[in-house]
Amino acid sequence: MAGDAPLLDVRDLSVSFRSGGRDVPIIENVSFAVCEREILGIVGESGSGKSVTAMAIMRLIDDPGVTLRGSVRFRGQELTTLPQKAFRTIRGREIAMIFQDPMTAFTPVYTVGWQIDEAIRVHERLSKAEARARTVRLLGDMGVPDPERTANRYPHQLSGGLRQRAMIAMALSCNPALLIADEPTTALDVTVQAQILDLLRNLRTDYGSAVMLITHDMGVVAETCDHVMVLYSGRVAERGPAAAIFSQPAHPYTAALLDSIPPLTGPRPTRLPSIAGAPPAPLERPPGCAFAPRCHYAHAACDILPPLVRCAEQEVACVLPGEGKALPPRMTERVEA
């Protein structure tokens, strides 16, 4: 395959749930790609559809009222039409996933090591002892102290940070090409959070895995990702290389998100600027730009859904660049001040 063909290619993915007799669109026409060894950050406020996107790619939504449209190609193979049985050889082996809350993500009645062994043995013909040896090695790689003993402990006996490390070890157990991490650090305290992010950042060199990092924290993206996709109310607001987006956001929503990153150095402001209002509920989403009710620049042209257009290095769903009124570059000094 061509070297730069994306590992994961998502085109026009839409997910809707049936509720109260009508289809509620949760995400609409989301497209993005993840290349080998790349870290893509998916950012958005709570409810913007980040988890639904991830679950849809993994086909883990088992709600009977769900409708999935669009295409998800993994190494050129279409996943949306793959039979569940065939999909199981991809899940956990080619694409692995870790979740937000490490407290509840392990089955409480089995030891952590047992659960990692299980993940290995479902995909590879290994003896129990061989699987356990790999489990211990993985736990060690993830910086778990005394991995042999830790493997024999139950989830409730481990701290949140250790559990998330064990979770990542489990996700990496079959050397997946893509790791989907759904808010892996949200439930952890700040120092542990930095360690886990470090771990994720090193995966591409240590394991050759690409990472799809879901978060609502632009600060996390800044520290970790190569590319960024900003979701707003189930639609792509902006996507492109992280560096470009951080230096010159093209969507007012991205700009507002960036303004709300707490500075890494210097005195912390007592109150961070936050975006007034809340994103619209899926059913109340306006036909035009969903951000319009909260946007300072909203005007008549925004009543028609703006398509994704190229603007500098990124693509943005906003009418401003087309009108020649692109947002000014960000004054990064303000963050550092």
Residues contacting 85, CB < 8 A, separation 6+: none
Partner that binds at residue 90, options ligand ATP, Mg ion, another protein, none, CB closer than 5 to 8 Å by kind: another protein
Q: Are 20 and 14 in contact (CB under 8 A)?
A: no
Place of tokens 């995400």: 27
74 belongs to the binding site for another protein (CB under 8 A): no
250 belongs to the binding site for ligand SF4 (CB under 6 A): no
- Angle at alpha carbon of residue 113, lines to 193 and 90, rounded to 5°: 80
157 belongs to the binding site for another protein (CB under 8 A): yes
User: Encoding tokens for residue 165?
Assistant: 């490390």
Q: Which is nearer to ligand SF4, 252 or 279 (CB)?
A: 252
147 belongs to the binding site for ligand ATP (CB under 6 A): no
In angstroms, what is the minimal distance from the CB of 295 to Mg ion? 24
Of 32, 74, 114, 291, the one binding ligand SF4 (CB under 6 A) is: 291
Q: Which is nearer to another protein, 92 or 280 (CB)?
A: 92
Q: Are 10 and 31 in contact (CB under 8 A)?
A: yes
Q: Are 200 and 39 in contact (CB under 8 A)?
A: yes
105 belongs to the binding site for ligand SF4 (CB under 6 A): no
Q: Which is nearer to ligand ATP, 50 or 134 (CB)?
A: 50
Closest CA to 315 of 209, 221, 235, 218: 235
Q: Which residues pair with 25 in a beta bridge?
A: 16
233 belongs to the binding site for ligand ATP (CB under 6 A): no
Partner that binds at residue 282, options another protein, ligand ATP, Mg ion, none, CB closer than 5 to 8 Å by kind: ligand ATP
Cα separation, 138 vs 2, whole angstroms: 31
Of 41, 44, 49, 92, the one binding another protein (CB under 8 A) is: 92
Q: Are 33 and 82 in contact (CB under 8 A)?
A: no
Partner that binds at residue 105, options ligand ATP, ligand SF4, Mg ion, none, CB closer than 5 to 8 Å by kind: none
Partner that binds at residue 261, options Mg ion, ligand ATP, ligand SF4, none, CB closer than 5 to 8 Å by kind: none
Cα separation, 317 vs 111, whole angstroms: 47
Can you spell out the DSSP letters for 166-226? HHHHHHTTT--SEEEEESTTTTS-HHHHHHHHHHHHTHHHHT--EEEEEES-HHHHHHH-S
Place of tokens 């925004």: 302
Q: Which amino acid is at 167?
A: M
- For the chain, the C-alpha Rg in angstroms (whole number) is 21
Of 46, 67, 107, 260, the one binding another protein (CB under 8 A) is: 107
Count of residues making up the chain: 337
In angstroms, what is the minimal distance from the CB of 220 to ligand SF4? 23
Site string for another protein, 42-71 (x = CB under 8 A): ----------------x-x---x-------
48 belongs to the binding site for ligand ATP (CB under 6 A): yes
Beta strand 66-74 pairing with 227-232: unpaired
Beta strand 39-43 pairing with 22-34: unpaired
Q: Which is nearer to Mg ion, 51 or 254 (CB)?
A: 51
Interface residues toward Mg ion, by CB under 5 A: 51
Interface residues toward ligand SF4, by CB under 6 A: 251-252, 289, 291-292, 295, 297-298, 302, 306, 318-320
Interface residues toward another protein, by CB under 8 A: 58, 60, 64, 84, 88-93, 96-97, 99, 101, 104-110, 118-119, 122-123, 154, 156-157, 167, 170
